[in-house]
């Protein structure tokens, strides 16, 4: 049986092309499973998985939890609120405690970039990064690639524009790595203040005009403006952001070639996308969510073989 080159999923940066290929192909099989009337397989029946979320999350935690339950794993949830983290315990002590209870895999979200890497080098369980600060969010990038491939086939040579707040987005960085490893041509597009300087070194195109980006690309992956992080200082006003970078259905319909519209959610309707764009036939936003469960099942299943 083909195997991953790693026993953790910390970031896309560490994956080989073959790893990505294997995960996406395995996910195809799990997507069939979750669309059958009987959505469950006994693959991880004797595996205990802890979802350790030091940052709040709805969709990612729920998606992992469903993936785990459909693989028949035993699941425990741990969130930072109400936990011993508040009592001054170190991250390593917290996780070692969970592991001493014989947990086999840890799915972790943490606000510090590198937190899952730090752990993975110190503990025997498989670690899956469910988002570390503004660094990586590898399962999001994998589900995004899976969703693009469903529409476009092989991504080599395809043009992907990542549009919006690149600076604060772990989704952007993981997507860039994932797409480049598959041979895609990547552009990041946003206001100068929201595109970090190191982007140039990554070999991506850099744009500031959303209409030019849309005219160029096969896929527009539109990032969320994280209102709750008060990034208002990076642009004059939400209204102005929306005026210059918001995407409407009309802008998509007027293009002279088909375009695929993506968004990692949750959408701010009326800010980065108008409602009619989000709900248009160009959009595969809900496919992304569905594929997220299949891709996470694939990752958990493959890592469980790598003890």
Residue ranges that bind a second copy, judged by CB under 8 A: 34-35, 37-40, 46, 48, 50, 56-59, 62-63, 65-66, 69-70, 74, 76, 78-79, 81-90, 93-94, 96-98, 100-103, 226-228, 265-269, 286-287, 289-290, 292-293
Q: What is the DSSP string of 17-82?
A: HHHHHHHHHHHHHHHHHHTSSS----TTTT-EEEEEESS--SHHHHHHHHHHHHTT-EEEEEESTT
CA distance 190 to 209: 7
Closer of 102 and 198 to a second copy (Cβ): 102
- Going by their DSSP bridges, the two strands 126-132 and 219-222 should be labelled as unpaired
Instruction: State the nearest-atom distance from the C-beta of 200 to a second copy, in Å.
Output: 31
CB 227 within 8 A of CB 270: no
Distance (Å, whole) CA 174 – CA 307: 25
Distance CA 204, CA 304 (A): 34
Q: Binding site annotation covers 265?
A: yes
Rounded to a whole number of angstroms, the minimum distance from the CB of residue 278 to a second copy is 8
Q: Is 266 annotated as a binding residue?
A: yes
Binding site annotation covers 59?
A: yes
3-class secondary structure, 126: strand
CB of 183 to a second copy, least distance (A): 28
For a second copy, which is the closer residue by CB, 4 or 52? 52
* 153 has binding-site annotation: no
Q: Is 122 annotated as a binding residue?
A: no
Structure-token pair, residue 275: 């409602």
Binding-site residue set: 59-60, 87, 109, 137, 140, 170, 224, 265-266
Binding-site residue set for carbamoyl phosphate: 59-60, 109, 137, 140, 265-266
Binding-site residue set for L-aspartate: 87, 170, 224
């Amino acid at each position: 049986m083909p195997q991953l080159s790693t026993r953790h999923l910390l970031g896309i940066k560490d994956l080989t092309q073959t790893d990505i290929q294997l995960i996406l192909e395995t996910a195809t099989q799990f997507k069939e499973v979750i669309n059958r009337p009987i959505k469950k397989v006994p693959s991880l029946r004797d595996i205990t998985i802890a979802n350790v979320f030091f940052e709040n999350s709805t969709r990612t935690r729920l998606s992992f939890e469903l993936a785990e339950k459909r693989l028949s794993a035993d699941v425990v949830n741990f969130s930072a609120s109400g936990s011993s983290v508040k009592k001054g315990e170190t991250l390593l002590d917290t996780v070692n405690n969970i592991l001493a209870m014989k947990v086999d895999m840890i799915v972790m979200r943490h606000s510090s970039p590198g937190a899952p890497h730090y752990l993975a080098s110190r503990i025997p369980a498989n670690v899956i990064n469910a988002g570390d600060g503004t660094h990586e969010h590898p399962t999001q990038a994998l589900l995004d690639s899976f969703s693009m491939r469903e529409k476009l086939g092989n991504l080599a040579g395809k043009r992907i524009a990542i549009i919006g707040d690149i600076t604060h987005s772990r989704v952007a960085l993981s997507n860039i790595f994932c797409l480049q490893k598959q041979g895609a041509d990547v552009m990041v597009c946003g206001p100068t203040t929201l595109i970090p300087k190191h982007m140039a070194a990554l070999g991506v195109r850099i744009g500031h005009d959303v209409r030019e980006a849309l005219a160029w690309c096969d896929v527009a992956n539109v990032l969320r403006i994280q209102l709750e992080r008060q990034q208002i200082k990076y642009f004059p006003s939400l209204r102005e952001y929306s005026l210059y970078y918001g995407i409407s259905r009309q802008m998509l319909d007027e293009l002279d070639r088909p375009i695929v519209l993506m968004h990692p959610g949750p959408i701010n309707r009326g800010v980065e996308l108008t409602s009619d764009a989000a709900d248009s036939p160009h959009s595969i936003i809900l496919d992304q969510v569905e594929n997220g469960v299949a891709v996470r099942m694939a990752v958990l299943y493959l890592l469980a073989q790598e003890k």
